[in-house]
Amino acid sequence: MCAGLLIACATLLRVFLAYNNWPLLNADEGVMGIMALHIQAGQHPIFFYGQNYMGALEAYLGAGLFFVFGPSPFALRLALIVLFLLFLVCLYVLTALLYTKRFALYMLFLFSLGSNVILSRQLSPLGGYAEILVCGTLSFLLTLLLSLSAARPGSRPVWRGVGYVSWGIVVGVGIWSDLLILPAIICSALVLLVFCWQDLKKGALLFILLGLIVGAMPLILATVNAAPGQNPWSALIGMQGAPAWSVHTAVQQISRTVIYSLPAITGNPLCHTDDLSSIKMLGFEPVQPMNAACITIKVSWSCCYLFLLLYAIVLQVIQVRNLFFAWHTHSNDEKISGEFIRACVAFAIVLQAALTLCAFLRSHAPLDGASVYARYLVCIWIATPILLWPLWRCMQKVFVAGGIKSLRSFLVMTLMVIMILCLSYGTYETLTEVPQARTAYAQEEELISSLSQHGITHVYTDYWTCYRLAFQSAERVTCGVVTGDCSFRADQHNRYKPYYDVTSHDPHAAYLLNGNDCANVFEQRGGYQSFAIDGYTVYQLPVR
């Protein structure tokens, strides 16, 4: 009942924010919404438009909800809320099986709160992140259940067969959604390989393969039917590649991850920074200067997280080693086997968090947009129970002892209180942004209405305005993307090529600019009519 109440409160909070259009709809969400509209019309996209390696599951869920609630950003975000609800359920069951139900309730309480960055990540359908969070958690949960079942004599093989198929489906869907899930899948598979080896030799591998084929069927079809060099793997490889190593680059990657990325994705609500603050992608907080106080807060926050991560890894290694010898000596003891399996799963979970962080550190993401691209670290959320379990256990000892008796106990209690206060403050601060979100959404509606009144249906504009307007207007306004150098090419952020084709063939398509240097270009060209609409300047050739 307590778990259900906490999950219900977390869901209602996010429904309230989504209903009030928080955060501001952004272009990537717009692309997902446009895909959902096209799915309603009978199309079947496999990948996010313009990125042939990121699955379209959120668009299909959104299309289903459009039939019930009608096309809107709110209905699209409901799909994310459903996925987050599934994540909470999986995380609760996984934590309860690894540790205790009371600690699992504490995890639900923490995850029901969040800073504006965390809540915006849970409400913005940007493609793949919610899916890999659910699939990653569920893969570890299924691994734990299958391993415990395989170690238990006389357990039913039919149930395990269903479990292996389910694990394969979950992994397949996760890989189709986004390959950021790979560290979680690899670690989960290693545990499954160790404890379910006998089942795998007897045919369980075929069940897993069947599940993988079902879950990854869209990815398989896209790979088979793609033209040479256009398959998802080629597209992904073309997008990847770590920057050339140098001491300066490595220092920048580490420092920017510590100062910007880790505090953002782990819930620090203080000293807000945003690489794309002009589009309010992470909420409506004012961007604060990175002075000495802000840097100190962010670095301290990250150091605490990294210490907990390192401590959890060392603790799990020691626990796994000690239990291994006990398990090897008493392999028929069901209690020892269960403890050993739980320790190995916990170690695998914390290991995937470390691998995810290492992969992020070596990538372009910290250099290109450390705050915005912090979403690539979303899988580290799965490891939160393993990181906080030592603190919870220490806190329990404090209550049993009847008070704080040591400096360690004092530090642990202080850290737990600060954690709750920070997440609570972040939630409160997010709620205070709701009026701004309503106003911003109303302004977008006025802009769309003004464009319609002027008979403008095709516009050239920046990427962040383009796809937001296209979805919010239900494609009454379509667009082509103008880049920072005032160029207009099909390969420059034009996710959906038909928009580019229609706009480029319209001689009277308007230019919708907002603080863009291209305005000077049109003023120098002459012949364009210009007028202002809701903070934008419109340039259009006169109709003859």
23-62 per-position pLDDT tens digit: 888 889 999 999 999 999 999 999 999 887 889 999 999 9
* pLDDT at residue 286 is higher than 90: no
pLDDT confidence bin for 517, thresholds 50/70/90: low
Rounded to 5 degrees, φ, ψ at 65 are -75, -25
What's the whole-model pTM score?
0.92
Nearest Cα residue to 26 out of 367, 437, 539 = 437
DSSP-assigned beta bridge partners for residue 531: 538
* pLDDT at residue 364 is higher than 70: yes
Question: Residues, the chain, total?
Answer: 544
H or E segment at 459? strand 458-461
Q: Where are the domains of the chain?
A: 2-237, 254-430, 455-540
Burial 25-61 (b: 16+ CB within 10 A, else e): bbbbbbbbbbbbbbbeeeeebbbbbebbbbbbbbbbb
Percent of the chain with pLDDT over 70: 88
Say whether 230 sits in a helix, a strand or coil: coil
Instruction: Report the interhelical angle of 27-40 vs 463-472 (nearest 10°).
Output: 40
pLDDT confidence bin for 334, thresholds 50/70/90: confident
* pLDDT at residue 240 is higher than 60: no
DSSP-assigned beta bridge partners for residue 55: 47
pLDDT confidence bin for 276, thresholds 50/70/90: low
Write the pLDDT tens digit of every residue in 407-441.
777 888 888 889 999 999 999 999 999 999 999 89
pLDDT confidence bin for 246, thresholds 50/70/90: confident
Considering only residues 48 and 525, tell me which one the structure prediction assigns the higher pLDDT.
Answer: 48
H or E segment at 252? helix 247-256
Nearest Cα residue to 94 out of 291, 497, 389 = 389
pLDDT confidence bin for 514, thresholds 50/70/90: confident
| pLDDT given at position 379 | 94
> Residue 16 is encoded by which pair of tokens?
């309230």
CA 209 and chain centroid, separation: 27
